[in-house]
Amino acid sequence: MSKPTIGLTGLAVMGQNLARNIARNGFAIAVHNRTVETTHKFIAEHGHEGAFVGCDDLRSFVEAIEKPRTIMMMVKAGKPVDDVIEGLKPYLAKGDLLIDGGNSFFKDTARRAAQLESEGFLYIGTGVSGGEEGALNGPAIMPGGKREAYERVAPILTKMAAQVDGTPCCAYIGEGAAGHYVKMVHNGIEYADMQLIAEAYDLLKSAVGLSNEQIGETFAQWNEGELGSYLIEITAQIFRTRDPETGGYLVDAVLDRAGQKGTGKWTSDSALELGVPVTAITEAVFARCLSAMKAQRVAASKVLMGPSSSFGGSQKDWIGAVRDALYASKVVAYAQGFDLMRVADAEYGWALKPGEISTIWRGGCIIRAVFLNRIKEAYDADSSLSNLLLAPFFRDVIGRTQANWRRVVSAAIQSGVPVPAFSAALAYYDGYRRERLPANLLQAQRDLFGAHTYERVDKPGVYHSQWG
Ligand code: 6PG
């Protein structure tokens, strides 16, 4: 066996599956894990799948790889990444390439890339999406760093990535932290997508009165059309799953308290820092926070009043209306995510290509969806599109869904069913399409109480007035 040119350290589930993916694609690979037993177990179970070299310590791991080396780190974001880098460094040679394939915070990636590049190494921070299954059979890969670093590893990355219509779901994203930034926004959109689906579920269940079976069938049908996506597909699957312990639906046995590891919040943090209204994404983050206040909610449910949650009327009609509301809100969530990338790109100078990013997201990743093809077409037609909502296809989607969207949000509010992401998306749409917003009054208030000055609509300049 020839000496591997790539190694992977960090054999948790994602690391194991990526290593197997690389090996199954015909590349020899050295593998290492901090706990030696994990490496031994991995080799015993999967050694026959390809050309693996199991290594017990970092030194033998690095030495097992042909120079110039490529080393992929699949460890927890934060300090563990810095620790692994420090652990590897003494054995590395100039020109070696380190790849961080975890969900690292993009500013950490920028710092690490700058540091390592100044020391003569190459560094790639890459988004890898698709969960365990994607890691094994083809994830979406979003690599950022120096182009020469990407070129070196592109043959492996593009081969192990998911393929859609013969195109790999992997392309060079940009310098420094670009890859991790794009993955972060992917996750922000993922949060919004999931929350929107959860709101549709709540409406179908609590307000329209569908059974779990009917909800599952509804999602399965939606998956056949314009809403076709991985998240809708797995949602249908969830509603088909029984609890082996009780025989009831497993989804009903799951505690309604959502976890989060931080990437959604980082998206909102970055949006606040850059002044970009990603309201549907941020409401999705807050919805998880509100869900986590379970004890308070249980207590409040016994004290606070609200209306009856039933919509009344034809179930079939409401199902169609909820579908339209979901579709329109989803378009807004993606528009907000792409807008955030546009502004971040102007700030950080990565030269992001939104059309290429939507191409990568068509397969392998958690937010893969039929309509990403439409996003790609929108950016192919106009690469400097300022907002996805302005693309003719999406303008028309909202044109034909908005009556139902408004009806669903109004009915949800009347019925006391919380739809924070649906309604935030709608408010954004209505705010974005308004030539004049009431911000003139905000400016007047600011000028009155703090002499903050204002601009006028009829002539240039900055003004301050004595009000009242
Ligand atoms: C992916 C996912 C993945 C993420 C999980 C959990 O693209 O494969 O985004 O990277 O870790 O979805 O994220 P939360 O724990 O924050 O929900």
Residue ending a domain, among 155, 176, 197, is 176
**Which atom of ligand 1 is found nearest the CA of 264?**
16
Same domain as 215, residue 154: no
Q: Is residue 176 classed exposed, middle or buried when 0-12, 13-18 and 19+ CB atoms within 10 A define those classes?
A: buried
pTM score: 0.97
Same domain as 94, residue 23: yes
Tell whether the model's pLDDT for residue 89 goes beyond 80: yes
d(CA 241, CA 175): 44
Domain for residue 1, yes or no? Answer: no
Measure 279 CA to ligand 1 centroid, in angstroms.
Answer: 20
Tell whether the model's pLDDT for residue 115 goes beyond 80: yes
Q: Could you tell me how many residues make up the chain?
A: 468
CATH of the domain at 282: 1.10.1040.10
Tell whether the model's pLDDT for residue 227 goes beyond 90: yes
What sign results for the dihedral spanned by CA atoms 358, 188, 425, 440? negative
Over the stretch 185-194, which tens digit does the pLDDT of each residue have?
Answer: 999 999 999 9
Over the stretch 235-254, which tens digit does the pLDDT of each residue have?
Answer: 999 999 999 999 999 999 99
Q: Is 234 in the pocket of ligand 1 (CB under 6 A)?
A: no
- Token pair of 434, please? 């308004």
Q: Strand 6-9 and strand 29-32: pairing?
A: parallel
For position 2, what pLDDT does the model report? 82
Give the total number of structural domains in the chain.
Answer: 3
In the chain, the amino acid numbered 298 is V
Domain hosting 71: range is: 6-176
Q: Is 98 in the pocket of ligand 1 (CB under 6 A)?
A: no
Percent over 70 (pLDDT), the chain: 100
Closest CA to 108 of 277, 286, 263: 263
Mean pLDDT for the stretch of residues 139-160: 98
**Which atom of ligand 1 is found nearest the CA of 258?**
17
Measure 187 CA to ligand 1 centroid, in angstroms.
Answer: 6
The verdict on whether omega for the bond into residue 68 sits within 30 degrees of 0, i.e. cis, is yes
Q: Which residues are CB-neighbours of 354 under 8 A, at least 6 positions away? A: 338, 341, 342, 375, 379, 383, 385
For position 308, what pLDDT does the model report? 87
DSSP state of 3: P
Confidence of residue 172 (pLDDT cuts 50, 70, 90): very high
Over the stretch 90-114, which tens digit does the pLDDT of each residue have?
Answer: 999 999 999 999 999 999 999 999 9
Mean pLDDT for the stretch of residues 149-162: 98
Over the stretch 13-23, which tens digit does the pLDDT of each residue have?
Answer: 999 999 999 99
Minimal-distance CA residue to ligand 1 atom 2: 129
Same domain as 168, residue 190: no
Same domain as 273, residue 422: yes
Mean pLDDT for the stretch of residues 146-161: 98
CA-to-CA dists, residue 417 to 173, 306, 413, 457, angstroms: 40, 9, 6, 41
Q: What is the mean pLDDT of the chain?
A: 97
For position 146, what pLDDT does the model report? 97
Exposed e or buried b for every residue in 265-278, given b needs 16+ CB within 10 A?
Answer: bbbbebbeebebbb
Same domain as 45, residue 172: yes
